[in-house]
């Protein structure tokens, strides 16, 4: 009887050992398929020596040994094994500090995949902090307060005769001042435009910067700003331009497009209601800009700021920005779609530069006299 029990225990031990070895081999195949076999081979060998470690523990070990930048092939290998991971969600973790709850909230607001959310939650250390959007918003508010106090006007500042004399405003008569194609984002037509842009920069731009980093979000924002001024110089050639709507709409449209394309995976609460409210607010801002451009409520000495920067920023966000937001922890330079968008954007910039050099004289555009 004891001999039979000993043989049964031996067979059970051998079966457990074989299962552990097969699990280790499967994990090794994951790593080799991702081109990271040499880096993770010691970890897998060490894991296979633990005969009673199941497959989920091995996958967890591999995730812990991942570097901070995962290649797309390795990420796919881990994602394919996600069904074997324990179904634990970050929302189920109690007793978190305010900082960890904030990081968890950002993860569920921005990232559509649970693996990415857990990875971001475990890796984010708050360094560097989201300085770009925060500092930019503060600078815009300070500049607006300075001009408001100087002009003694806080709403519809563009109607003041001295407002357009600012070296930061884009004016078609000063196209040779290259910095104006960027610095117009620091000027705003009034308190309502500044409040709208600052709110979106802090509520959407800061979380995006926390997840995707200052380089990617800064690049997307400035690409929207430049596309806005260049589009105005091509399509609305007599109009000046103020406001950060080009960059803001690039961020917002990219985020909204990412939410729509990953609707099932997003776990942000009331996402449909928030989507509708965001679209209504953005459409209202565009409508306000169109109304001020073509039906100014007050007499003015020249055309009012254009609204085309809103549309240009939205196009940049839906095209270039969507690729950036869908490439969390992936290298952009390894993606063909990214280079297609960069090449298209470069062609547009070159075309707009030549347009600004030659088209105004060839078409005989009557530019309002610069202030």
Q: E strand or H helix at 134, and its extent?
A: helix 131-151
Three-state DSSP class for residue 170: strand
Handedness of CA 108, 109, 110, 112 (dihedral sign): positive
Told to judge if 245 belongs to the known catalytic residues of this protein, a careful annotator would answer: yes
Q: Pick from 106, 48, 37, 117: which is nearest to 82 by CA?
A: 117
Token digits for 123? 């890796």
Cβ neighbours of residue 128 under 8 Å, at least 6 residues apart? 214
Output the DSSP codes for 9-56. HHHHHHHHHHHHHHHHHHHHHHHHHTT-HHHHHHHHHHHHT-TT--HH
**Catalytic residue (choose from 48, 166, 229, 245):** 245
Grouping H, G, I as helix, E, B as strand and the rest as coil, residue 277 is helix
Q: Which one of the listed residues 188, 229, 310, 319 is annotated catalytic?
A: 310
Q: Is 171 a catalytic residue?
A: no
Residues 6+ apart with CB under 8 A from 193: 243, 245, 285
The Cα–Cα gap between 240 and 301 comes to 12
Contact 119, 75 (CB under 8 A): no
The gap from C-alpha 42 to its chain's centroid, in whole angstroms, comes to 36
What is the SS3 string spanning 189-258? CCHHHHHHHHHHHHHHHHHHHHHHCHHHHHHHHHHHHHHHHHHHHHHCCCCCECCCHHHHHHHHHHHHHH
The CA–CA distances, whole Å, from 19 to 8, 30, 48, 120 equal: 16, 17, 10, 31
Which residue pairs from 122-130 have beta carbons closer than 8 angstroms and sit at least 24 positions apart in sequence?
123/68, 124/210, 126/99, 128/214, 130/205, 130/206, 130/209, 130/210, 130/214
Task: Please give the Cα distance from 14 to 94 (Å, whole number).
Answer: 40
Active site residues: 245, 310
């Amino acid at each position: 009887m004891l001999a039979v029990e000993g043989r049964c225990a031996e067979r059970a031990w051998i079966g457990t050992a074989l299962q552990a070895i097969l699990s280790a081999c499967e994990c090794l195949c994951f790593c080799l398929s991702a081109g990271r076999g040499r880096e993770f081979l010691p970890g897998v060998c060490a894991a296979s020596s633990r005969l009673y470690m199941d497959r989920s523990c091995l996958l967890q070990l591999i995730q812990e040994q991942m570097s901070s930048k995962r290649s797309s092939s390795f990420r796919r290998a881990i994602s394919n094994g996600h069904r074997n991971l324990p179904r634990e969600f970050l929302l189920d973790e109690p007793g978190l500090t305010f900082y960890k709850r904030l990081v968890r909230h950002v993860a569920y607001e921005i990232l559509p995949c649970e693996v990415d959310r857990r990875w971001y939650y475990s890796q984010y250390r708050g360094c560097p902090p989201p300085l770009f959007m925060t500092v930019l918003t503060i600078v815009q508010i300070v500049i607006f307060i300075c001009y408001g106090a100087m002009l003694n006007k806080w709403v519809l500042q563009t109607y003041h005769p001295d407002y357009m004399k600012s070296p930061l405003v884009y004016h078609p008569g000063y196209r040779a001042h290259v910095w104006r194609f960027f610095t117009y984002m620091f000027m705003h037509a009034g308190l309502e435009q500044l409040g709208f842009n600052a709110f979106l920069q802090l509520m959407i731009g800061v979380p995006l910067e926390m997840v995707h980093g200052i380089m990617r979000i800064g690049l997307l924002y400035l690409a929207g700003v430049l596309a806005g001024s260049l589009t105005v110089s091509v399509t609305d050639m007599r109009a000046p331009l103020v406001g950060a709507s080009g960059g803001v709409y690039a961020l917002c449209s990219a985020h909204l497009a990412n939410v729509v394309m990953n609707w099932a995976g997003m776990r942000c609460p009331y996402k449909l209601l928030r989507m509708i409210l965001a679209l209504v607010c953005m459409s209202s801002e565009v409508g306000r800009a169109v109304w001020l451009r073509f039906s100014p409520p007050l007499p003015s000495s020249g055309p009012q700021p254009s609204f085309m920067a809103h549309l240009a920023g939205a196009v940049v966000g839906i095209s270039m920005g969507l690729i950036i937001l869908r490439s969390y922890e992936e290298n952009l330079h390894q993606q063909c779609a990214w280079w297609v968008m960069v090449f298209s954007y470069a062609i547009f910039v070159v075309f707009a530069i030549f347009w600004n050099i030659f088209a105004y004289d060839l078409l005989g555009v009557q530019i309002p006299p610069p202030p």
